[in-house]
Amino acid sequence: MSRSSCALYLSLRYHQLSPNYIYERLKTTKLPYLLKLLLVQCDVNDPSQSLKELARLSIIYELILLISWNDEESAKYLETYKIMEGKSAESLMDLQQYQSNDFLTKYIDMITEVKSINKTDGQTLLHAFGSLEKILNSSNEQLSMKIGDHILVDGKHSATICYFGLVDNHPGEWIGIE
């Protein structure tokens, strides 16, 4: 890959046919690299024993073990390492912070894909229902209620919605009324 990094590729199917290959390759190849990757393509039905063996091997030889499921994913790993090769640590940290947004940001981005939901509505829905699953399982009536709406309680008493959320002393209720 470069002067300071190398990658060894191993198909688990080939490893099961020739289990000594990777050991011989590591013994005969001097690996004075700072970054040493063992890219393993998982192309067998039961990979657990082979992966345990290769994980142990990776620890002994100080290799980074990457597991891929197909040729495209293997190529993507190598391509990404090649692209990142000349980048500084600071720029990689910025990229990592960008990619690891918190749950709320990811939730808001996802829920606002629905054209009629803006960011404020998305936050209100999450606060009111507690989870995406509860939002998806709620009725249209529950979704259309707003703070300040008047509703009938027990079919005869009028009440005003003062907040949405679970009510402490009434398990299962999700609406606060006055």
Q: Are residues 52 and 83 in the same domain?
A: yes
Instruction: Check if the beta carbon of residue 63 is closer than 8 Å to that of residue 38.
Output: yes
What DSSP line would sit under 66-84, residue for residue? Answer: EEESSHHHHHHHHHHHHHH
> Which of 69, 99, 129 is where one domain is finished?
99
Q: pLDDT tens digits, residue range 122-152?
A: 877 777 777 778 777 877 777 766 656 666 5
Same domain, residue pair 14 and 55: yes
Determine the Cα–Cα distance for residues 81 and 1; give it in Å rounded to an integer: 8
Same domain, 42 and 61: yes
pLDDT at 159: 64
State the average pLDDT over residues 160-168: 55
Percent residues over pLDDT 70 in the chain: 70
pLDDT > 90 in the chain, percent? 14
Residues 57 and 129 in one domain: no
Q: Is the pLDDT of residue 164 over 70?
A: no
Number of independent structural domains in the chain:
2
pLDDT tens-digit readout, 92-119: 566 555 555 567 777 777 878 777 788 8
Give the highest mean pLDDT range of 12-21, 146-155, 158-167.
12-21
Same domain membership, residue 54 and residue 11? yes
Residue 133 shares a structural domain with residue 173: yes
Q: What is the pLDDT, as a whole number, of residue 158?
A: 64
94 and 110 inside one domain: no
Q: Provide the domain limits for residue 168.
A: 104-177
- How far apart CA 112 and CA 122 sit, in angstroms, is 7
> Does 170 have pLDDT greater than 60?
no
